[in-house]
Structure 1
Amino acid sequence: MNQLHAPKASRNQDTGRLSFMPPVSPSARPSGRRGRGVWASSRRLPDFLPETLAPRPRLSKHTVAPCTFSVVSAVKKTAVTVASTAVLSLLAAAPAWASGGADATDAPKPPAHTSSVGGARLAVPGTQVSLAGGAPALPKKLTGRSWIVSDAESGDVLAAHNAHWPLPPASTLKMLFADTLLPKLPSGEQHKVAAADLKGMGAGSSLVGVKENQTYSVHDLWLGVFLRSGNDAVHVLAAMNGGVPRTVQQMQQHAIDLQALDTHVVSPDGYDMPGQVSSAYDLSLFARSGLQNQDFREYCSTATAQFPGAAKKGKKRPSFQIQNTDRLLSGAHGMTPYPGIAGVKNGYTTNAGNTYTGVAQRGSHVILVTVMNPSAKEPNAVYKEAASLLDWGFAADGKVTPVGKLVPPKSAAGTKQAGSSSSPSTGKVAATAPAEATAAHSSSGVGTTSLAIIGGVLVVLAAGGFFVNRRWPRRPQP
């Protein structure tokens, strides 16, 4: 697997990162059009590099190296489960909303029954790990309400803690927003912002500084979304997509296709809204799907960029620097950039606490981690716990028995919708998905599916199957 780096350039000053992604910096020779994606050529690097490297010489050839991550192996595990009564996971998540975040004294407990998409052990509360000979012990002092460590390429879940607990996601939900909209909006498209585009943002929203009556490229707006978690940029992009309600509907449908059944979308920016939840498992699915997209990889791994300021008549339009709020990427606020980090997204709201999804590479191992709402008072707790889980993932990969799987999208796996059936000998089965409290979600037979039953009787009529290995096809690039 190629080790790639991004040379120092005007729109991304981050250097010395290991990454399985293509280069993320635009070339030192800027394009004539703001917002046009310009890529630098890549070089092969050693398996390990120090966190700080001497500046690289600027490169003049604009090419994109192939990314091996775009083809992901997936395991399809068949099962048939039927239940007589269902009260859904979002009801179980209600106490988390009422808790008031990580500082609440009456911290909620994980639901007794959750989805088992990806494996039956992922539905069990508490920490799930199967250490084999020579495998390191999990890090101590992990305080996240929910977390998951997986091999990003194989999809193997190496360890998890309350993986399917539906919790407020904060701005990590922007990964689903980006994965849904990036193919729909050309990066070079220009848009003049109207007053209506900025309506509906929650009080205290994080902003990148989008101004009414100013023109921005889609590329600029996505940088605002990923680097500054700008809700203003999110709402403008949603307006370009036909409005917030249409965007929310598309995000929910995309979540269903990704088999992210713990997720209920209310606002595209992740702002605290009653009923808006996701899970560590689902956030990992969003990241893994988004990383198939070249533009997603560019934006989520950019450390610093220039963002357009307000144009003034007769003068050249100014710009100002924005820095990524991901502290494992930028090294800000007392953190050190994590070796091999390549994004993806962090978040914070009052109810969600701190949330984080990160992906990194060392040698041939690509590890994906999600941490939700650590209770530690330390301000960098979510980053430190994520970094310790990344360290553990690299040391444990290949030495532990996976406890589950990150399933592929239903569309990629070619599975049938719920309600269809066929003989188990064909590798395709019918499955009944949990009936969510807020929306009816259908599910395919990819992954083992069991139903959360609260106040009812769970009857498992049959379960079984076999494994079918297949390749995850490359997603067409926008």
Structure 2
Amino acid sequence: MTRGLLVLGVASAVLVLPSVATAAAPAAGQPVAAAQRTPITAAAGTANRPCPAPTPPVARPTRPAPPPLDPVHAAIGGADLATAGLVTPPDTAAPPRVSATSWLVADLDSGAVLGGCGPHEYGVPASVQKLLLAAAVMPRLDPAGVIEVTESDLDFEPGSSAVGLVEGGRYSVETLWLGLLLNSGNDAANVLARLGGGPDGLTGGVATMNSEARQLGAYQTHAATPSGLDGPGQYTSAYDVALIARACFARDDFRRYAATKIAQVPAQAANNTKGYPIWNDNQLLHRYPGALGGKTGYTDLARHSFVGAAQRNGRTLLVTLLGAEASPLAGWQQGAALLDWGFGLPSGASVGQLVARGQLNPQPPVPARAAGTAGVRPDDDQRSRPGGLLMAGSPVVVLGALALVLVRRVRRRRAGTGQPATGGDPHPDGSAPG
């Protein structure tokens, strides 16, 4: 990504958005009335503070040009966030030097943004996009449902991360979520997207992900694949990833999956496959006190991405980072350093706010699915997420048009061994995609 293309002169622009600094946010899922919208301007000096990064800079692959950065979208959550540089509370300690091109630290409970580097700059998600799949599809699926893996479910990039599902194998939906979040299984992502997409299958699952992103206010996010494997027009931002991760951590079932350190994939009659254990590849969970889990990611194009959450002294913080290198620190270590910095800030320090679901542009609900499909339930279990049923897409957001981009066909891979494929996420250096 060429960062120069994304630096906008927002310091003097007047932007109209829901005011998060001067007025209480409306209840989750409620529209922002016109009377509640107040002009906000970017604070002086925030656009010219460079992000702390290791030197010399690391050479990165050339990325396709992202969409133009809408100044309104760049200031979602507060005017101070409309910067390609560093934004931190005044009179606080400097954040650590990390190789991530963009990052954000927020309070998971209150939604207060504690600081960031280019929080609305476009980045490539890699497997942290699986959190959007979870946010969009987890409420639709019965974890006790059992499904059969099809040939098309195993159609994804060779050598990328997989949990080792076999064609004809029958797995519970819960096992699929564990395989997705512990082993970053691209095979599990395909199955879950197919189930969540209903009659439209995997393509419908990706469309559901994009609809969910808009409902969360993640207007800079567009998914082309359910797994986060690179696809045409696929982008996100550190701020958007934080919105998505916050929606995930609002669910008790997601928290339980994300905090699981080891799980068992059951034996299958198909191919006479034996059962085997899988381990959570998020080292933060294993090595950071108070860690709640999160998600790792890597592709050659995206580089390393990371999401992590942790509790300390009654506070729960979230960190998201995009475009990192594994040197001098691994992605999870960069996340840990930023969490330490966030926990060291005084209570109440903030530079912005994570908007509530539906706050910016609520839409009519999608009709509930009929019951009876294996592993799928009607959209009636929304107890642990605000805002009611999943919503339809927004006709007024320019980025929404990108939802028409078809999921690319990737090379076929048969995960017929019944063992998890070696891939980037299960390894500390994240050397392979997934």
Shorter-normalised TM-score: what interval?
0.5 to 0.7
Shift of 1:268: 0.7
Contact 1:122/1:164 (<8 A) preserved: yes
Matches within 5 A, 1:116-265: 116-132=75-91, 135-139=92-96, 141-199=97-155, 201-241=156-196, 242=198, 243-265=201-223
Contact 2:233/2:402 (<8 A) preserved: no
Contact 2:182/2:280 (<8 A) preserved: yes
Instruction: Return closer, same or farther for 1:189/1:117 CA change in 2, 3 Å cut-off.
Output: same
Shift of 1:107: 8.8
Shift of 1:300: 1.1
Q: SS at the partner of 2:260?
A: coil
Shift of 1:348: 0.6
What is the CA RMSD across the aligned residues, in angstroms? Answer: 3.2
Shift of 1:311: 2.9
Distance 1:386 1:345 in 2: 11
* Unpaired stretches in structure 1, ≥5 consecutive residues: 1-72, 83-100, 331-336, 419-430, 442-478
Contact 2:217/2:360 (<8 A) preserved: no
Matches within 5 A, 1:53-452: 75=25, 78-79=36-37, 103-104=59-60, 115-132=74-91, 135-139=92-96, 141-199=97-155, 201-241=156-196, 242=198, 243-311=201-269, 318-330=274-286, 337-375=287-325, 377-378=327-328, 380-398=329-347, 400=349, 402-410=350-358, 413=359, 435-436=398-399, 438-439=401-402
Q: What is the one-letter code of the residue matched to 1:268?
A: P
Contact 1:177/1:251 (<8 A) preserved: yes
Contact 2:210/2:400 (<8 A) preserved: no
Distance 1:181 1:107 in 2: 29
Q: SS at the partner of 2:297?
A: strand
Q: What is the one-letter code of the residue matched to 2:150?
A: A
Distance 1:432 1:102 in 2: 40
Matches within 5 A, 1:19-38: none
Distance 1:231 1:80 in 2: 43
Q: SS at the partner of 1:385?
A: helix
Identity %: 37
Q: SS at the partner of 2:399?
A: coil
Cα deviation code 1:389-443 (max 9, x no counterpart): 100111104163x111000001xx596669xxxxxxxxxxxx99763384389xx
Distance 1:189 1:414 in 2: 34
Contact 2:168/2:270 (<8 A) preserved: no
Distance 1:291 1:382 in 2: 20
Instruction: Return closer, same or farther for 1:149/1:170 CA change in 2, 3 Å cut-off.
Output: same
Q: SS at the partner of 1:344?
A: strand
Contact 1:373/1:382 (<8 A) preserved: no
Distance 2:240 2:148 in 1: 34
Shift of 1:105: 7.5
* Unpaired stretches in structure 2, ≥5 consecutive residues: 1-22, 27-31, 41-56, 365-393, 405-434
Instruction: Give the number of equivalent residue pairs.
Output: 323
- Deviating beyond 6 angstroms after TM superposition, the runs of 4 or more aligned structure 1 residues are 105-112
Cα deviation code 1:334-393 (max 9, x no counterpart): xxx101000111111111100001110012111110111124633x43112111110011
Instruction: Return closer, same or farther for 1:361/1:109 CA change in 2, 3 Å cut-off.
Output: farther
Q: SS at the partner of 2:74?
A: coil
Contact 1:283/1:370 (<8 A) preserved: yes
Q: SS at the partner of 2:218?
A: coil
Q: What is the one-letter code of the residue matched to 2:245?
A: A
Contact 1:102/1:353 (<8 A) preserved: no
Contact 2:259/2:292 (<8 A) preserved: yes
Cα deviation code 1:41-94 (max 9, x no counterpart): xxxxxxxxxxxxxxxxxxxxxxxxxxxxxxxx9735843579xxxxxxxxxxxx
Q: Give the TM-score of the pair, scaled to structure 1.
A: 0.62
Distance 2:182 2:117 in 1: 28
Contact 1:309/1:320 (<8 A) preserved: yes
Shift of 1:307: 1.1
Instruction: Return closer, same or farther for 1:74/1:187 CA change in 2, 3 Å cut-off.
Output: farther
Instruction: Return closer, same or farther for 1:279/1:381 CA change in 2, 3 Å cut-off.
Output: same
Contact 1:74/1:155 (<8 A) preserved: no
Instruction: Return closer, same or farther for 1:108/1:219 CA change in 2, 3 Å cut-off.
Output: closer
Contact 2:266/2:274 (<8 A) preserved: yes
Distance 1:322 1:231 in 2: 14
Shift of 1:237: 1.8
Q: SS at the partner of 1:347?
A: strand
- Bigger Rg, which one: 1
Contact 1:74/1:154 (<8 A) preserved: no
User: Which residue in the other structure is 1:20 paired with?
Assistant: none
Distance 2:224 2:61 in 1: 27
Shift of 1:122: 0.9
Contact 2:86/2:117 (<8 A) preserved: yes
Cα deviation code 1:113-165 (max 9, x no counterpart): 56211011111110001234xx43322x2221000011111111111110011
Distance 2:216 2:400 in 1: 19
Distance 1:225 1:347 in 2: 12
Contact 1:81/1:432 (<8 A) preserved: no
